[in-house]
């Protein structure tokens, strides 16, 4: 979590776009975007977050969060609170919570409230910051280490997403140009890809009635489906290479311009019709 307690650091934040700024730039709050723009231009003082309890809880629990991650994973976190800049886009920077020594992953610690908490929602909420920091640090992955107010610790692994980072860079360039020219910024307005999380869970679906019903249907129709696919493959082999369509016994095969063959069923009006 980027420190906001030092007046000097707050002044420095006006000269670059950081990870926490990325979330606003990729968000859907025009008021917050305009405020950030005015802050970067020096027209407004940065918001005083010293009285924001959630932010302060995140700051106070940061050391505990990092220690808990290291204890549970066996990985070491280095470069704590290191400020880095992108080698080309100097206006892109990040103050890292750390880098995981064994993997090179960007480490990000958060405190979140337990109500309606889900890993998917947490990843989506912080995705812009994670992708921004990975881009600046040239990292291929990030670790989101979360302590919730319910006394739960969660580790979420996120991979660098080239498409997301392309959209992010486009949005940040647009915003930074507005900072430099004085033009009012507008929301980026493009839906970003959903977070791609590393699947690590094994879930027991036995209590689900819907799962039970669909599982029964799957098991009952599995053999028929396999036979269906085998028959379709064999039928394709029987279609003459120069045939646009092949019809017979209630089945019609159609060849597309690309050569792909598809099947549909037809009514058998004359069962004694000769096969062409």
| Same structural domain, 143 and 174 | yes
| Same structural domain, 38 and 163 | yes
Q: So what's the pLDDT on residue 268?
A: 66
Select the more confidently predicted residue: 45 or 202.
45
| Same structural domain, 110 and 210 | no
Q: So what's the pLDDT on residue 159?
A: 93
pLDDT tens-digit series, residues 96-144:
999 999 999 999 999 998 887 888 889 999 999 999 999 999 999 999 9
Q: Span 70-86, mean pLDDT?
A: 94
| Same structural domain, 234 and 246 | no
H/E segment holding residue 152: none
Q: How many CB atoms lie within 10 A of CB 266?
A: 11
Residues whose CB falls within 8 Å of the CB of residue 167, separated by 6 or more in sequence, listed in order: 26, 188, 190, 192
| Same structural domain, 140 and 47 | yes
Q: How sure is the predictor about 199, in pLDDT bands with cuts at 50, 70 and 90? A: low
| Same structural domain, 146 and 41 | yes
Q: Span 178-200, mean pLDDT?
A: 82
Give the chain's domain count: 3
Query: Is residue 49 one of the residues assigned to a domain?
Result: yes
Query: Is residue 171 one of the residues assigned to a domain?
Result: yes
Query: Is residue 191 one of the residues assigned to a domain?
Result: no
We report the CATH number of the domain holding residue 158 as 3.90.320.10
Query: Is residue 82 one of the residues assigned to a domain?
Result: yes
Q: How sure is the predictor about 85, in pLDDT bands with cuts at 50, 70 and 90? A: very high
| Same structural domain, 113 and 208 | no
Q: What percent of the chain has pLDDT over 70?
A: 89
Hunting for tokens 């921004």 — which residue is that? 132
Q: How sure is the predictor about 258, in pLDDT bands with cuts at 50, 70 and 90? A: confident
| Same structural domain, 98 and 67 | yes
| Same structural domain, 254 and 272 | yes
pTM of the model: 0.68
Q: Is the pLDDT of residue 76 over 70?
A: yes
Query: Is residue 2 one of the residues assigned to a domain?
Result: no
| Same structural domain, 230 and 101 | no
Q: Span 270-276, mean pLDDT?
A: 48
| Same structural domain, 150 and 270 | no
10 Å CB burial of residue 27 (0-12, 13-18, 19+) is middle
Q: Is the pLDDT of residue 272 over 60?
A: no
CA dihedral 250, 256, 259, 261 (to 10 degrees): -30
Query: Is residue 135 one of the residues assigned to a domain?
Result: yes
Contact 145, 176 (CB under 8 A): no
The whole domain housing 176 covers 7-181
Query: Is residue 223 one of the residues assigned to a domain?
Result: yes
The Cα 165–Cα 84 span in angstroms is 18
The Cα 224–Cα 115 span in angstroms is 46
Contact 261, 254 (CB under 8 A): yes
183: number of CA atoms within 13 Å, CB side?
A: 9
Q: Is the pLDDT of residue 267 over 90?
A: no
Query: Is residue 186 one of the residues assigned to a domain?
Result: no
Lowest model confidence (mean pLDDT) among 17-26, 111-120, 188-197: 188-197
| Same structural domain, 104 and 213 | no
Q: How sure is the predictor about 203, in pLDDT bands with cuts at 50, 70 and 90? A: low
Lowest model confidence (mean pLDDT) among 177-191, 229-243, 259-273: 259-273
């Amino acid at each position: 979590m980027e420190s906001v307690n030092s007046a000097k650091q707050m002044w420095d934040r006006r000269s670059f776009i950081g990870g926490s700024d990325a979330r606003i730039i990729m968000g859907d709050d025009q008021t917050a975007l305009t405020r950030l723009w005015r802050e970067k231009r020096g027209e407004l003082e940065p918001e005083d977050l010293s009285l924001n309890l959630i932010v302060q809880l995140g700051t106070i629990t940061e050391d505990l969060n990092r220690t808990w991650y290291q204890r549970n994973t066996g990985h070491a976190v280095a470069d704590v609170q290191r400020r880095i800049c992108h080698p080309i886009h100097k206006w892109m920077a990040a103050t890292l919570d750390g880098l995981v020594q064994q993997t090179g992953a960007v480490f990000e610690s958060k405190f979140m409230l337990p109500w309606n908490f889900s890993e998917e929602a947490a990843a989506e909420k912080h995705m812009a910051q994670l992708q921004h920091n990975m881009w600046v640090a040239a990292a291929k992955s990030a670790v989101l280490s979360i302590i919730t107010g319910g006394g739960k610790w969660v580790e979420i692994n996120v991979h660098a997403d080239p498409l997301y980072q392309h959209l992010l860079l486009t949005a940040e360039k647009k915003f930074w140009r507005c900072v430099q020219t004085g033009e009012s910024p507008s929301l980026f307005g493009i839906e970003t890809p959903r977070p791609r999380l590393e699947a690590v869970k094994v879930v027991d679906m036995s209590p689900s009635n819907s799962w039970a019903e669909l599982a029964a249907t799957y098991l009952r129709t599995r053999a028929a489906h396999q036979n269906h696919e085998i028959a379709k493959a064999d039928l394709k082999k029987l279609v003459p290479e120069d045939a646009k369509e092949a019809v017979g016994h209630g089945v019609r095969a159609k060849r597309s311009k690309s050569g792909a063959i598809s099947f549909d069923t037809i009514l058998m009006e004359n069962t004694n019709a000769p096969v062409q």
